[in-house]
Chain A
Amino acid sequence: MASRTERIQDVLRGLRAASPDIIGASVVSIDGFVIASVLPSEIDEELVSGMAAAMLGVGERISSELMGSAMEQTYVRGEKGYVVLNAVGGDSVLVVLTTKEAKLGLVFIELKRRCAELSQII
């Protein structure tokens, strides 16, 4: 039977294969450790995981302070694409990198589906 990390890795591969606009994805713990990742080799996984955990923390604070509710998702739009962070369970986050041309609606649907799968595993 595949290990938990391998199963998470499979989900991430499936996510990346779902759309050519998804460049990479990673599951990160709230402590900033990479749980599994399918990021392009030129990206520093450790740095991404640290920043994602920090962003999850900030996102939670904003959501809680300004809206009095839990955070579900946050995203950053850059000149070259998007970084989407989606909470998975209570202690981890799914980070997805997409191109600028990505159809965000489709990405969000895919994210929702994959997050449900990941929640079962994590």
Chain B
Amino acid sequence: MPTVSIETKGCRYCSLCHDICPTDVFDMDEAAGLAVAARPSDCIGCTSCEYICPSRCLKVSDVERQRPFYRIEENANIVAKFLQQTPVTSALSEDDVAEALQDVAVRLNALGDSVTETMGRGNKVVGRRAGKLSAAHLPEMYEGRDLQQVLDRLQRRFAGSFSFRSEVASTDGRIGIHFDRCALANVVKKHGQEPGKAVLCTLFHEFWAGLLSEFTHQQYALEAPNGGPVCSLRLKPRD
């Protein structure tokens, strides 16, 4: 459970922490002229209060970063308690999910087609560049000391979205990445394309090449992927 601590000497009774807290952890003690963490057990560790405190006198510690936050049932229950709304996932029917998948498939395929129609053979660069730029949004990956640690961290980071296995060849440093039940496979199939060879697959695979190149400071080139039931791709280090 997160711990909220306020350094009372620094608190200026501005009430920003009280106003921003999504779970109403704070009370304002008018007599003392201080903010008080009155209900710390309700803290979800979003750190909004720490971020907004102008005096830098508020600290939230023991926070476990949970991603994707809202897919974790415990968090969904807290949201339900404070917003007095049932998490939307339980209100979705199978038809809703199918319709959403169809909608996403149409949009993603349109995106892939437009990138290829505009960029031609240059489309791979777009995917790789996207991976490199996305790396900045995953700063915790830079803490990995070697390639295997980075891969392990990525595996944990994306666990809520998709699962993959990886291995690094000790002989030539090639990375093998194997995606189980890739959601993109369904998307490209709906467009009549072959998983692994479709434009979206290429963009996604190049994205991974860019992402890992950025974290490891080693350029990786994509080798022919295999788009079977488990989509596998290999990344070859470049000199």
Binding site for B on A (CB under 8 A): 30-33, 50-51, 53-58, 60-61, 64
B121 lies within 8 A of chain A by Cβ: yes
Known A-B contacts: A31-B221, A32-B122, A61-B117. Give 17 more (CB < 8 A).
Answer: A30-B124, A32-B128, A33-B221, A53-B121, A53-B124, A53-B125, A54-B126, A56-B121, A57-B119, A57-B120, A57-B122, A57-B123, A58-B118, A60-B121, A61-B118, A61-B119, A64-B120
Question: Please, could you name 6 A-B residue pairs with CB atoms under 8 Å apart, sorted by A?
Answer: A30-B124, A32-B128, A53-B121, A54-B125, A61-B120, A64-B120
**How many angstroms from the CA of A32 to the CA of B127 in the assembled complex?**
11
Task: Establish whether residues B122 and A58, one from each chain, have CB atoms under 8 Å apart when the complex forms.
Answer: yes
Interface residues of B in 116-156 (CB under 8 A from A): 117-126, 128-129
Contact A50 B129 (CB under 8 A): yes
Main secondary structure, interface of B, reads helix
| Contact among B121, B222, B238 with A30 in the assembled complex (CB-CB below 8 Å) | B121
Q: Does B166 contact A (CB under 8 A)?
A: no
Cβ of B216 < 8 Å from any Cβ of A?
no
Contact between A32 and B124, CB atoms less than 8 A apart: yes
Shortest C-beta distance, A53 to chain B (Å), equals 5
**CB within 8 Å for A54 and B122 given contacts A32-B128, A33-B238, A61-B117:** yes
A58 to B114, CA, bound (A): 12
Residues of B within 8 Å of A54, CB to CB, are: 119, 122, 125-126
B77 beta carbon closer than 8 Å to chain A: no
Q: Verify if B219 is at the interface (C-beta below 8 Å from A).
A: yes
Q: Which residues of A contact B123 (CB under 8 A)?
A: 57
- The 7 A-B pairs of least Cβ separation, nearest first, read A57-B122, A57-B120, A32-B125, A54-B122, A61-B120, A57-B119, A53-B125
Would A57 and B125 be within 8 Å (CB), given that A33-B219, A33-B221 are in contact? Answer: yes
Interface contact B128-A50, CB-CB below 8 Å:
yes
Q: Which of B203-239 contact A (CB under 8 A)?
A: 219, 221-222, 238
Chain B residues with CB under 8 Å of A32's CB are 122, 124-125, 128-129
Complex contact A60–B221 (CB within 8 A): no
Which residues of A sit under 8 angstroms from B221, Cβ to Cβ?
31, 33
Contacts of B238 in A (CB 8 A): 33
Kindly state the separation between the CA atoms of A50 and B127 in the bound complex, as whole angstroms.
11
Q: Could you say which residues of chain A place their CB within 8 Å of the CB of B222? A: 31
Closest chain B CB from A43 CB (angstroms): 17
Q: How far is the CA of A60 from the CA of B120 in the complex (A)?
A: 7
- Chain A residue nearest to B123 in the complex (CB): A57
Question: B124 to A31, Cβ gap below 8 A?
Answer: yes
B contact residues around A55 at 8 Å (CB): 122
CB distance from A50 to the nearest CB of B (A): 5
Shortest Cβ distance from B128 into A: residue: A32
- Complexed CA–CA distance, A60 and B117 (Å): 11
Q: Which of A30, A54, A61 has the most CB of B within 10 A?
A: A54
- Establish whether residues B118 and A50, one from each chain, have CB atoms under 8 Å apart when the complex forms: no
CA–CA, A31 to B129, complex, Å? 11
B122 touches A56 (CB 8 A): yes
Q: Residue of B at shortest CB range from A55?
A: B122
Q: Inside 8 A of A30's CB, which chain B residues have their CB?
A: 121-122, 124
